[in-house]
Amino acid sequence: MSPLQSDVKVEIYSDVVCPWCYIGHTRFARAVERYRAKGGEVEVELRPFQLAPDAESNGEPTLEWAAAKFGGAERAAQMFGRVSGVAAEDGLALDFDHAIQANTFDAHRLIRLAGEQGKGEEALYALFRAHFTDGLDVGSREVLAKLAAELEVEADLEGEDGAAAVREELAQARALGVSSVPLFLFEGQFAVSGAQPEDTLLAALEEVAERTGQAVKTVKAAGDACDDEGYCAV
C-alpha cells in the first residue's frame, strides 16, 4: 500500500473494569503502531462507558458479584476463564481472583483530567493494571489519588473536577446507542465493536483513511465485548 496521507480520529468507548476493553485497547495500540509505520497518523479520544453505573465501591470481589448476577460461580468462572486465556495470548495477565468490583465514575474522571494534561492513555492503562493485575479498588478515591500522584496528574476527585464532562460524555454514549464495549468510532462515522483482532483494526484504519462523507453507522457487537449489564462474552 502507498504511504498513507490521511489522519484518522478514533473515539474509543470503554470501561476500566472491562477485560475485553483492556484487550481491545492493547490490540488497537499495536494496530496504530503499524498504521503510523505506513505514514498515517491517528488521533485517539478516550470516551467513558460504565458497565455497572449503579455499582457500589464496597470491596466486593468481582467473582462474587459476577456469580450473583450471572447465574452462579461456575458461570462466572467460565466467563472469566475464557477472557483470561485470550488476554494471555495478547501478553496480558488478568487476575480475577483478586479483582474488586467498583463504580468507575471517578476513574473516568481521572482519565478525563489526565487527558487534559496529556496523560489520558497513561491513566487508562494504569487503571487497567490496578484493577486486573494489582487487585486494587478503582472506585476508591484513595486509590485513585495515589494513581494520580504516580502519574503526576493534578486531580481533585473529592471535588467536582471533570464530573460534568464525564456525565455529558456518558449521556452522549447512550444517545449514540453504545451498549457494549469496547467500541471504536472512526471519524464519528464508522463503528467497530468488540475486541477485534489487530489486523482487523489496522484494516479499519486504512479503509477509513480512504472514505469520507458517509452517514454515521452504529453496529452491534461483532467481536468479544462486555455489555451494559456487565456480562462479558464467553
DSSP notation for 44-97:
EEEEE--S-TT---S--BHHHHHHHHHTSHHHHHHHHHHHHHHHHHTT----TT
Q: What is the pLDDT of residue 222?
A: 58
| Cβ atoms 43, 77 nearer than 8 A | no
Q: What is the pLDDT of residue 232?
A: 80
Mean pLDDT, the chain cut into blocks of 10 residues (234 residues total): 72 98 98 96 98 92 92 91 96 97 98 98 99 98 98 97 98 95 95 96 92 48 71 67
To the question of pTM greater than 0.85 for the whole model, the response is: yes
Q: What is the pLDDT of residue 221?
A: 39
E strand spans, 161-210: 180-181, 183-186, 190-193
Provide the pairing of β-strand 41-48 with 7-14: parallel
Q: What is the set of domains in the chain, with CATH numbers? A: 7-227 (3.40.30.10)
Q: How many CB atoms lie within 10 A of CB 122?
A: 18
- The identity of residue 201, as a single letter, is L
- Give CA 46 to chain center in angstroms: 8
